[in-house]
Amino acid sequence: MGGRFLYALFGLIYYGTVSSHQQEMATANNADVIVVGAGAAGLAAATELAESGLSVMILEARDRLGGRIFTQQDPQLQFPIELGAEFIHGRAPEIWDLLRQHKVAVTEVEGDNWCVRDGRLSPCDFFSEVDDILRRMDDRGPDESFQSFLQRCCPDASAETKQHAVSYVTGFNAADPARVGVHWLVQEMRAGEKIDGEPAFRARNGYSALLEIFRGRLAKTNARVRTDTVVERVTWSGGNVSVDAISQGSPVTFRARRVLLTVPLGVLQAPAGERGSIEFRPALPEEKVKALDGLEMGKVIRIALRFRERFWDQVSADSSPTLARMSFLFSRDEWFPTWWTAMPEPVPLITGWAPFRCAERLMSENVSVVGRSLQTLSGLLQVSREKLERLLEDAYFHDWQSDPYSRGAYSYAKVGAAHAPDILSRPVEDTLFFAGEATDVSGNTGTVHGAIASGQRAVAEIAKTIKR
């Protein structure tokens, strides 16, 4: 009797402990707002939401924060190596205000631009001619692809100038010229003019400096961050959301009144059942689906090569005894047509950029990215590949197309879909909210400052629903 009594008593206590633990877990998995994705948009939004007093849960599929910001710190180089976003384009307040407040040093990109023509190096002189072509684009008439526009717009432009214009659109936007819409490109140009978008800058320690700012602010709030948590399903009705995920290998459900989705466009477009895809129950409204169809993820493979020395300091060209001040190198190479150095910092680092068809070729032909990049660089600068291999100390690259949590580099709008980012950005029944560079409505799609602005816009939208 006594033994059974003690056993029963222990059982009750144990049962009560489990129930209490379950209740604690349920509370721990609840929030006012769940933010899916810890890239620039998600971190910016989560920070402001948490600072306003709301309980916030951030769910991130990767084991790190930053999304398509991915900075590596090379201990020997003492210089940040970016595998994702690198340049601060213009003077966008979304970035500059934060860096100034936290006294982060910023350096403007400087140096000379070189072009390879018919195997010879010469200073680039095509920028004004390409700019003239781009300024002929107009969004007052029917939309068309950039390729179509180029075929009819400029009979006075040389074939070489037109090719440079195509290279700009594919290189800067990672876009297919036969698919990207002129109306969207015009919006992008206008947005760039508003922030003096021509000069480019780098922050000390790269974009990781921006992440540290958000990290520090979040640490002062009650926001909870769950990395290695892959969202698989979002079930929603007005004012109620449950998010099913696999967190560190185990299934878990989170609940909130609102969810803010900041994942890349490629993830929202991912076919059902594929790794990283998100199922919505009920399905997203038809206008959202059409907006997703109107947008596309650009393709890019970039590689950063660290050498023992800046070998290009000893390379000469027709008009210069050395390329020591080289900042950018442009060519028509089919693999890595664009390169840049760390100018004005004198570090032995050079980055190759393979957009659109170049990236597709690298992926489809299954070649060595490092080997192919060295071969290209050898040909462009007329330095033997053997020498480059002897000098090479390390190589860094990340395939964003194969990454299931990005599925591409950054977004652009197809013909007739310049309005798609605006439609994608709109809340659904004050329950589902959207942010991320693909939802930017200011013309800054594809940029870090556009992503941050979209997060701030979503915060304002969520705040309106709370005040009602």
Higher pLDDT, 394 or 321: 394
Strands 432-434 and 250-261: parallel
Whole-structure pTM value: 0.92
- pLDDT at residue 77 in the model: 87
pLDDT at residue 18, as a whole number: 35
CB 172 within 8 A of CB 192: no
CA distance 303 to 354: 9
d(CA 151, CA 90): 30
pLDDT tens per residue across span 16-46: 333 343 334 346 789 999 999 999 999 999 9
Residue 467's pLDDT band, with cuts at 50, 70 and 90, is low
pLDDT at 394 over 90: yes
Model pLDDT, residue 155: 87
Residue 281 sits in a domain whose CATH number is 3.50.50.60
On whether the CB atoms of residues 207 and 82 are closer than 8 A, the answer is: yes
In a domain, 185, yes or no: no
Convert the pLDDT of each residue in 114-149 to its tens digit.
999 988 999 998 999 999 999 999 999 999 999 999
Beta bridge partners of 181: 145
Which residues partner with 255 through β-bridges?
30, 242
Give pLDDT tens digits for 246-283.
999 999 999 999 999 999 999 999 999 999 999 999 99
Antiparallel, parallel or unpaired: β 56-59 and 106-108? unpaired
Nearest partner of 450 among 188, 139, 218, judged by Cα: 188
Q: At 378, is the pLDDT very low, low, confident or very high (cuts 50, 70, 90)?
A: very high
**Which letter, b or e, does each residue of 398-410 get, where b requires 16 or more Cβ atoms within 10 Å of its Cβ?**
bbbbebebbbbbb
In a domain, 73, yes or no: no
Range of the domain at 433: 8-67+208-297+405-467
If one counts the domains in the chain, the total is: 1
CA distance 15 to 21: 10
Mean pLDDT computed over every residue of the chain: 92
Rg (CA), the chain: 25
Q: What percent of the chain has pLDDT over 90?
A: 86
For residue 103, being part of any structural domain is answered with: no
Residue 431 lies in a domain: yes
Is the residue at 18 inside a domain?
Answer: yes
Average pLDDT estimate for 188-212: 95
Torsional class of 372: left (φ above 0), alpha (ψ -120 to 50), beta (otherwise): alpha
Give the pLDDT score at 255. Answer: 97
pLDDT > 80? residue 6 = no
Please tell me the distance from the alpha carbon of residue 180 to that of residue 146, in angstroms, as a whole number. Answer: 6
Cα 325 to Cα 111: distance, rounded to the nearest angstrom: 5
pLDDT at 337 over 70: yes
Residue 313 pLDDT more than 70?
Answer: yes
Rounded CA gap, 414 and 293, in Å?
9
Q: Quick check: 382 and 245 in contact, CB under 8 A?
A: no
Strand partners of residue 113: 328
Q: In this model, does residue 153 exceed pLDDT 70?
A: yes
